[in-house]
Amino acid sequence: MTPISTTPELAELCRELTTAEFVTVDTEFMREQTYYPNLCLIQVASPDTAATIDPLSRDLDLKPFWELMAIRDQVKVFHAARQDLEIFHIGSGFIPTPVFDTQVAAMVCGFGDQISYVNLVRSITGAQLDKSSRFTNWSKRPLTDKQLHYALGDVTHLRDVYRHLKAELEKSGRASWLDEEMATLTDTSTYEQHPEHAWQRLKAKVKNRRAMAVLMSLAEWRERAAQKQNVPRQRILRDDALYDLSNLAPRTTDEIAGLRSLPDGFSRSARAKEIVSAIKEGLDRDMEGVPPLRQGQPLSAEASATLELLKVLLKSSAARHGVAPRLIADASELEKLARHDNPDLPALKGWRRDLFGADALSLKRGELALTLRDGDVSVIPLGQR
């Protein structure tokens, strides 16, 4: 069992796969020591063929594979596709389309929130997968037969999973629900890395808006440094140090020396000077562009009670329609819905509004109530019994 390692071999495989109705795809990569994922192996299968591809081979150009992924009338099937698609976007500059994500499809079909590939395969096919090779070093060569057998299992069983879920979606009339999710998943903006937005993924443990302004500048500096050096963000500066620096806003490298979240001698490094410069940029930032501090603000008693009712309504609606609750609305969306009268949320649009959003708004307006009937939560308009 040997991975494809030359361009002519890859071109021949891709010619064979071109005529297939769909292909299943997966990747193995390493990211613990880098900012960008290091693609180590590609697995691909059609209804009749399965193969592994070695992107680390010096004799292989991935161009034939990128051309295969660009075929617009061939479905590309992934499980939990986001990281795979990010890798493809980095490597080729585009996102394969159309895409069918079996994890999302399983949520639409009632298999629960973010079901694992192992559990989904077992539920649908009865097969028991050996995942003992999951955390091996995929960059080390040569790969063993055990590793390659494990890797192929991620695309061969996926064929049956895809067929089953596709049939279920067509039977239930929910194929369009999945289309909405895939539109976001295949949007290139989903994978673009903008350093100026890096602060948005942080918990923002800052005491005021001025500290938030500094945090925004420091997060942008750290992101650019991590990208340039291709190392993890935490290798540049840990989050706890980022928060300390934002709240204290030291103006000189000597002031940095007193921070416990930074190692001894850090204040004498070139990086300390860059931090001081980033802090100055944050302090000079126009406050009109700094968002108000909202994270961590406690809900009012009324909003807290509303949130609890919305959680019950969501679970009830999801169970009644056989959809994973998280696919309808996540915790942050429920909190926004509890805080605000009519926020701009996916849960209040399209099929989600039909399943949950409209009832959620009616519940907030006092137009319906929740009750227990035979152990199940029911929704009744007020004034009816």
36 and 183 assigned to the same domain: yes
How does pLDDT run across 228-286, given as a tens digit for each residue? 999 999 999 999 999 999 999 999 999 998 888 999 899 999 999 999 999 999 999 99
| Confidence at residue 341, expressed as pLDDT on a 0 to 100 scale | 87
Whether residue 366 lies inside any domain: the answer is: yes
| Confidence at residue 373, expressed as pLDDT on a 0 to 100 scale | 81
One digit per residue, the tens of pLDDT, for the chain of length 385 reads 799 999 999 999 999 999 999 999 999 999 999 999 999 999 999 999 999 999 999 999 999 999 999 999 999 999 999 999 999 999 999 999 999 999 999 999 999 888 999 999 999 999 999 888 888 899 999 999 999 999 999 999 999 999 999 999 999 999 999 998 899 999 998 898 899 999 999 988 899 999 999 999 999 999 999 999 999 999 999 999 999 999 999 999 999 988 889 998 999 999 999 999 999 999 999 998 998 886 556 788 999 999 999 999 999 999 999 999 999 999 999 999 999 988 999 999 999 999 999 999 999 999 988 888 877 888 888 765 4
**Residue where one domain finishes, among candidates 164, 190, 216:** 190
Residue 68 belongs to domain with CATH number: 3.30.420.10
Residue 335 belongs to domain with CATH number: 1.10.150
| Confidence at residue 310, expressed as pLDDT on a 0 to 100 scale | 95
**Residue where one domain finishes, among candidates 190, 211, 231:** 190
What's the whole-number average pLDDT of the chain?
A: 93
214 and 102 assigned to the same domain: no
Taking the C-alpha atoms of 167, 358, 313 and 339 in order, what is their torsion angle to the nearest 10 degrees? 130
- Domain boundaries, position 203: 195-289
92 and 203 assigned to the same domain: no
Residue 243 belongs to domain with CATH number: 1.10.150.80
121 and 231 assigned to the same domain: no
- What are the start-end ranges of the H helices in the chain? 7-17, 63-69, 82-92, 102-108, 117-125, 145-172, 175-185, 209-229, 233-236, 239-248, 253-256, 270-283, 301-321, 325-328, 331-339, 350-352, 358-364
Whether residue 78 lies inside any domain: the answer is: yes
174 and 60 assigned to the same domain: yes
353 and 242 assigned to the same domain: no
41 and 145 assigned to the same domain: yes
Q: 226-235: long-range contacts at Cβ-Cβ below 8 A with a sequence spacing of 24 or more?
A: 226/35, 227/35, 227/36, 227/193, 227/195, 229/35, 230/34, 230/35, 230/36, 231/33, 231/34, 231/35, 232/31, 232/32, 232/33, 232/34, 232/35, 233/35, 233/198
Whether residue 2 lies inside any domain: the answer is: no
Angle CA 174–74–350, to nearest 5: 25
**Residue where one domain finishes, among candidates 154, 171, 190:** 190
Whether residue 377 lies inside any domain: the answer is: yes
Whether residue 284 lies inside any domain: the answer is: yes
Whether residue 294 lies inside any domain: the answer is: no
284 and 308 assigned to the same domain: no
Whether residue 308 lies inside any domain: the answer is: yes
74 and 156 assigned to the same domain: yes
26 and 168 assigned to the same domain: yes
106 and 205 assigned to the same domain: no
258 and 329 assigned to the same domain: no
How does pLDDT run across 58-107, given as a tens digit for each residue? 999 999 999 999 999 999 999 999 999 999 999 999 999 999 999 999 99
Q: How many domains does the chain divide into?
A: 3
| Confidence at residue 295, expressed as pLDDT on a 0 to 100 scale | 55
Whether residue 335 lies inside any domain: the answer is: yes
